[in-house]
């Protein structure tokens, strides 16, 4: 366990980096946005990000960050809950959507961080109080996120309690590349997903229906190459997302036990470095292949931040949940979900 001053925010606040892990898996986490700044597998960094805080401030990609209070999109930036309509920031202005928690989401907050070591491994406990009315959401939410590295496992445990009913849906927006982040696009890497259904989306990337993946390019039930041809084919849904940027519903009984919970085997993402298996207890995962990266804002070490240069596997509830009466955290109830990335 090690910590050091990573950089300073423009207003002078310190951005501290914390390192946890072992010889096989090592993570560097920032108190700013709870960002996973580095994720080393056998010494090779597999995550997109920056050497200086400025990169995170100017790029719009949510690199490695914690996302909340509501990850993904909310249509027309509004929802009605308990008879009250709430207007949120339409920070994805081109589509008039609320995206990833609004103007100042959890990715832009300074979190309190407490390191912890036990016989299982090394952990960081991040906490944040998200006040009532912040970003116009109802209720004060006490949020706790635990990052753990134990053997070949890297996990993120999300917990929260609100004093009023509120939409709540957290994820992490890590850009992963299983050739190593310096290893070019993901076109030679494979993805397998235990999902029988997906959300088909409209032009605003808002789900319109839950449909079977059968016969579509989204049938990843057997491993598929994430080739350029697959992601830029003529399929209407692929065209809408400019490639893979879709929500899949995890449907499998294959599971593992982790920190006392049963997590479903959601996906396997594999490249030259090996396979990364994702286990989770959220109902869905958004797969986003970095379609909107276009060579701007180079990553650490001057690496090209190119289109399809990484894959995000965002465990979550389906997008726009509050407008279907889903993903509501009731006052006093506990939000408790985990994403486990296992290197195999």
The catalytic site residues sit at 173, 314
297 touching ligand GAL, by CB under 6 A: no
Q: According to CB under 6 A, which residues from 211 to 240 bind ligand GAL?
A: none
Task: Specify the DSSP element, H or E, that contains 123.
Answer: strand 121-130
User: Considering beta carbons, is residue 62 or 168 the nearer one to ligand GAL?
Assistant: 62
3-state secondary structure of 300: helix
Q: How many residues are listed for the chain in this entry?
A: 344
3-state secondary structure of 338: strand
- Binding footprint of ligand GAL, residue count (CB under 6 A): 10
* Structure token pair of residue 266: 């959601």
Q: What is the dihedral of CA 72, 205, 36, 121, to 10 degrees?
A: 70
Distance CA 344, CA 143 (A): 31
- Helical H segments across 143-296, by residue range: 228-231, 236-240
Distance CA 172, CA 66 (A): 5
Neighbour-count burial for 295-304, b at 16+ CB within 10 Å, e otherwise: eebebbeebe
* Structure token pair of residue 217: 């390019």
Contact range with ligand GAL by CB under 6 A, out of 3-11, 212-220, 284-292, 333-341: 284-292
Strands 44-45, 25-30: pairing kind? unpaired
320 touching ligand GAL, by CB under 6 A: no
Strands 255-258, 245-250: pairing kind? unpaired
User: Considering beta carbons, is residue 25 or 198 the nearer one to ligand GAL?
Assistant: 198
Residue of 286, 308, 315, 323 interacting with ligand GAL (CB under 6 A): 286
Residue of 78, 292, 298, 306 interacting with ligand GAL (CB under 6 A): 292
User: Considering beta carbons, is residue 189 or 316 the nearer one to ligand GAL?
Assistant: 316
Distances (CA, A) of 25 to 22, 179, 270, 337: 6, 15, 16, 22
175 touching ligand GAL, by CB under 6 A: no
Shortest gap between Cβ of 212 and ligand GAL (angstroms)? 21
Binding mask 51-70 for ligand GAL (x = CB under 6 A): ----------xx--------
245 touching ligand GAL, by CB under 6 A: yes
* Structure token pair of residue 330: 């009731």
User: Considering beta carbons, is residue 139 or 321 the nearer one to ligand GAL?
Assistant: 321
User: Considering beta carbons, is residue 61 or 271 the nearer one to ligand GAL?
Assistant: 61
User: Considering beta carbons, is residue 40 or 318 the nearer one to ligand GAL?
Assistant: 318
Strands 2-8, 190-193: pairing kind? unpaired
Count the Cβ atoms, other than its own, within 10 Å of residue 112: 11
314 touching ligand GAL, by CB under 6 A: yes
169 touching ligand GAL, by CB under 6 A: no
Q: According to CB under 6 A, which residues from 83 to 122 bind ligand GAL?
A: 99
Contact range with ligand GAL by CB under 6 A, out of 74-82, 146-154, 186-194, 286-294: 286-294
Shortest gap between Cβ of 226 and ligand GAL (angstroms)? 16
Q: Contact positions toward ligand GAL, by CB under 6 A?
A: 61-62, 72, 99, 205, 245, 286, 288, 292, 314
């Amino acid at each position: 366990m090690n910590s050091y001053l990573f950089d300073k925010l423009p207003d002078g606040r310190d951005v501290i980096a914390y390192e946890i892990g072992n010889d096989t898996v090592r993570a560097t986490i920032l108190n700013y946005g709870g960002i996973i700044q580095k994720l080393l597998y056998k010494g090779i960094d597999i995550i997109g990000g920056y050497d200086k805080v400025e990169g995170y401030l100017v790029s719009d990609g949510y690199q490695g960050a914690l996302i909340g209070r509501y990850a993904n999109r909310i249509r027309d930036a509004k929802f009605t809950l308990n008879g009250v309509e709430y207007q949120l920031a339409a920070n994805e202005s081109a589509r008039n959507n609320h995206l990833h928690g609004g103007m100042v989401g959890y990715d832009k907050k300074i979190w309190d961080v407490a390191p912890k070591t036990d016989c299982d491994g090394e952990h960081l406990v991040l906490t944040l109080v998200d006040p009532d009315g912040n970003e116009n959401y109802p209720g004060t939410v006490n949020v706790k996120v635990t990052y753990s590295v134990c053997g070949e496992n890297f996990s993120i445990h999300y917990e929260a309690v609100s004093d009023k009913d509120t939409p709540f849906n957290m994820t992490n927006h890590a850009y992963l590349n299983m050739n190593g982040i310096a290893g070019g696009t993901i076109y030679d890497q494979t993805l397998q997903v235990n999902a029988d259904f997906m959300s088909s989306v409209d032009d605003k990337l808002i789900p319109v229906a839950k449909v079977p993946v059968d016969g579509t390019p989204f049938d990843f039930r057997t491993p598929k190459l994430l080739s350029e041809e697959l992601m830029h084919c003529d399929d209407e849904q692929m065209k809408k997302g400019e490639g893979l940027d879709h929500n899949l519903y995890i449907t499998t009984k294959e599971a593992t036990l982790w920190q006392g919970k049963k997590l479903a085997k959601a996906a396997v993402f594999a490249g030259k470095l090996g396979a990364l298996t994702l286990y989770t207890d959220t109902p869905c995962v958004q797969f986003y292949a970095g379609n909107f990266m276009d060579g701007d804002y180079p990553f650490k070490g001057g690496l090209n931040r190119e289109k399809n240069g990484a894959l995000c596997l965002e465990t979550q509830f389906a997008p726009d949940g509050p407008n279907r009466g889903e993903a509501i955290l009731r006052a006093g109830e506990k939000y408790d979900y985990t994403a486990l990335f296992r290197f195999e």
